Amino acid sequence: MKDQRLKIVNYSLLLIFLALLIYASLGLSPRGDLNSWVNREESAAHSPNAATYYIRHAYHDTHSPNMVTAILADYRGYDTLGEETVILTAGIICFLLLRRERRKTKNSKNKEIKAEK
């Protein structure tokens, strides 16, 4: 009974979440609109818009026609540095979690064998 009620609450929460999201999406500018804030020449604070600036200046600044690479490694190099550190941290966490556990189980197995003897 209690599980049933919890299930109803969960599903209704999901539906309310979907309704809220769709309501929020009605306020977005349509896809591909050149007049939406992300695609304008000037941002809301009257500074040059980042994306448009990158498109105009990427080749002149970095001599690489691929703007994504230019942004990734040059304009936003700090960002990529952080992401790469996150990847290294994830790898090291996997290493530490699983390798240390293996040594432990080996020791416990040895102990079990000794105890049996």
Partner 1 sequence: MKEAENNPIVSLIASIVSPFIMLFGLYVIFHGHYSPGGGFQGGTLLAASIILIRLAHSSHTGQLQFPAKLGTPLGSLGVLIYYGTGLAALWWGGQFLNYAFLPLAEEISLRRSWGILLVEIGVGLAVMAILVSIFDDLLEEEDHD
Partner 2 sequence: MIEFFLGHYAYWFVLILLVIGLYGMIIKHNLVKKVIGLSIFQVAIILFFIASSTKWEATVPVLANHHEKIQAAAYINPLPHTLMLTAIVVGVATSGVSFALLILTYRRYKTLNETELLKRMSEEDAE
Q: What are phi and psi of 9, to 5 degrees?
A: -60, -45
32 binds partner 2 (CB under 8 A): yes
78 binds partner 1 (CB under 8 A): yes
In sequence order, the 6+-apart residues with CB closer than 8 A to the CB of 61 are 70, 74
- Interface with partner 2 (CB under 8 A), residue total 49
Burial letters 97-110, b for 16+ CB under 10 A, else e:
eeeeeeeeeeeeee
45 binds partner 2 (CB under 8 A): no
Which 8-state DSSP code applies to residue 40?
S
Using CB under 8 A as the binding rule, the residues of this chain from 8 to 67 that contact partner 1 are: 60-66
Sign of the dihedral defined by the CA atoms of residues 64, 69, 73, 79, in that order: positive
87 binds partner 2 (CB under 8 A): yes
Which residues are near partner 2 by CB under 8 A?
7, 10-11, 13-14, 17-18, 21-22, 25-26, 28-34, 38-39, 41, 50-52, 54-56, 58-59, 65-68, 71-72, 76, 79-80, 83, 86-87, 90-91, 93-94, 97-98, 101, 105
